[in-house]
A and B are shown apart, each in its own frame.
Chain A
Amino acid sequence: MAEINQEDILHLLSQRLASFANPELEITPETNLITQLAIDSIKLLNLIMELEDHFDISIPLNALTDVLTVRDLANLIYRIMSDSK
C-alpha cells in the first residue's frame, strides 16, 4: 500500500462512518463514535475487521479502550501501521 498519513485515514474513516450516521450529522474528527454515531458494540467490532482488511493490519480489540472519537481511531490505525513497518 502507498504511503498514507493520518489525514488520509481520517478521510477514509469519515466516509465509512457516514453509513452509520444520521444524514444530518456532519462527521468531524471529534465526533464521538458511541454517543454521537450510536455505533453498538457489535457494529464497532465488525467495522474493526473491515478496517483491518483495508489496511492489512491487526487492530487488537483491547487497544480500543482509549478510542472515543474518529480522530482517536485514526491515530490508533496510524500508530499500528507505523509500528508494523
Chain B
Amino acid sequence: MNLLEKLDAAAAARKAQLPTGLSAFGIPIEEIYSPTEARIGERRILLLGTNNYLGLSFSPECRKAAHEAIDKEGTGTTGSRMANGNYSGHRALEMEFADFYHCRSCIVFTTGYQANLGTISGLIGAGDVALIDGDSHASIYDGCILSGADIIRFRHNDMADLEKRLRRLGDRSKNTLIIAEGIYSMLGDQAPLAEIVSLKNAYNSILLLDEAHSLGVLGETGQGLAEKTGLINQVDFITGTFSKSLCGIGGYCVSNHLQLDQLRYVSHPYIFTASPSPSTIAATRVALRLLRDGSKLREQLWRNARQLYSHLKMIGFQVGPEPGPVVATILDNPQQALALWNGLLENGIYVNLILPPAAPEGKSLVRCSVNAAHTSEQIEHVCQAFSKLHSSIIQ
C-alpha cells in the first residue's frame, strides 16, 4: 500500500462510520452571535460544544484590548520569541501568570498543544521515563514521543496501577515525569491529585499537571485542580491553554523550579515557532484578570453543569463519573452516538461527536460543554431535547 493508498484506506474507514454527506467533524459555523449562539447552515443554533467555560469570548474588555494592540503593534510578530518576536506583552503575561499561580517562573507558548509538546520534550529525553495517564490528551502523547523518553501508560485514574508501574521502574522512577490532567477532556472527570502527589513523593519522581480544562473552572481563583485540592506547591510543573476559559490561543507552563527557564534554549516547539500575536496576548492578559476575579462566573458555570449532568443521569443516559463543565453521554456504538448528535442538531443544539478510537474503552461519546453564559432556560431546552431523544436512541 503506497502513501496515498493508506490515506484512501483511512477515508474509507471513516466513511463506513458516518453516512455519506453528513459532516459531523469540522461542521462550518457561518456566523457567531454570542458565547452561546451561532448560525450553522440556515439555522440559529445553541452552542453546547465549545470550551468557552467562562463565556468570555465576547467580553468587551478583552475585545477592546485586542483592538488596541492591533492598532499599536500590528497583526503579528512574524518571528519567534528567540528572535524578533519577543514583545514586552509576552513577558508581562508570563509575569502575570507567575503571579497568578504564586510561582517563580512561567513560559508562554504559541498554542496549548505546544505548551505540552515544548515542556515535556524539554524536561525529559532518551533514557528518562514518561509515566502518563491512559486517557491523556494527544499533545501529551506527542510531547513524550518528541522527547525520546520511554513512554509508559497507567490505567486512567487508577492509583494502584500507577504505583505498580512506578515500582517496576525501580531506580528509574527518579528520572520519571508523571503526567496527569486536572479535568480529562473526554469524560470530564478529575485526577485524584492527592494520591498522585503522594506517589510522586514516595518514588522521588516529578509531576506535571495539565490544567487545560480546569483553568478557570476549579479552585477559588480558578487556578485549577491544584488550587482546589490545596496541592499547588506539590505539583512541579503546571501547563495550560489560553484557548478554553481564556478564549484566545496560546499556552503556558508555570513552576517554582527556576530550571523551567532553561526550556527556552532547548525546547524546539518554543524556539522554532512564531510568538503569539499582540492582540492575542493583550486579550489574554485581560481575560486572565477576569478569570481570577470570576468567582460569580464559576458559580454560574457549575450551576449549569450540575443541572445538565443530573438531568441526563436521571433520564437514564450513561454519563461520566462526576459532574463538571464537560458532560459526556456515553453510547455503546457509533450509530447511537450519531443518531443522538444528529437529533440534537435538528433540535438546534450543537455538541461534539467522538467515535472510537478517540473515545475511551471503545465507546462513543456525545460530549456537551456548558459555560457560564448559558442561561438556565437554555440548559432546560437542552435537557428537554435529550429527554425527547432518549427513547429513540436507547433501546
Contacts and interface: CB of A to CB of B under 8 A. Distances in A.
B165 interface: yes
Contacts of B89: none
B213 to A, nearest CB: 20
A49 B357 contact: no
Contact of B169 (A41, A43, A53, A58): A58
Contacts of B150: 58, 60, 62-63
A63 B151 CA distance: 9
A41 B10 CA distance: 13
Residue picked from B148, B149, B152, B164, most chain A C-beta under 10 Å: B152
A43 B134 contact: no
Contacts of B155: 49
A61 B130 CA distance: 10
Interface of B: 129, 134, 144-145, 148-155, 164-165, 168-169, 356-357, 360, 362
Contacts of B360: 42
Contact of B151 (A43, A56, A60): A60
B357 A57 contact: no
A18 interface: no
Interface of A: 40-43, 45-46, 48-49, 52-53, 56-63
A33 B165 CA distance: 25
A42 B151 contact: no
B152 A60 contact: yes
Q: Please provide the 7 A-B residue pairs with the shortest distance between their CB atoms, ordered closest to farther.
A: A60-B150, A42-B357, A61-B151, A40-B357, A58-B168, A58-B152, A62-B151
B357 A41 contact: yes
Nearest to A56: B168
B155 to A, nearest CB: 7
Contact of A45 (B134, B145, B165): B134
Contacts of B168: 52, 56-58
Given A52-B168, A58-B168, 4 more contacts: A45-B153, A60-B151, A61-B153, A62-B148
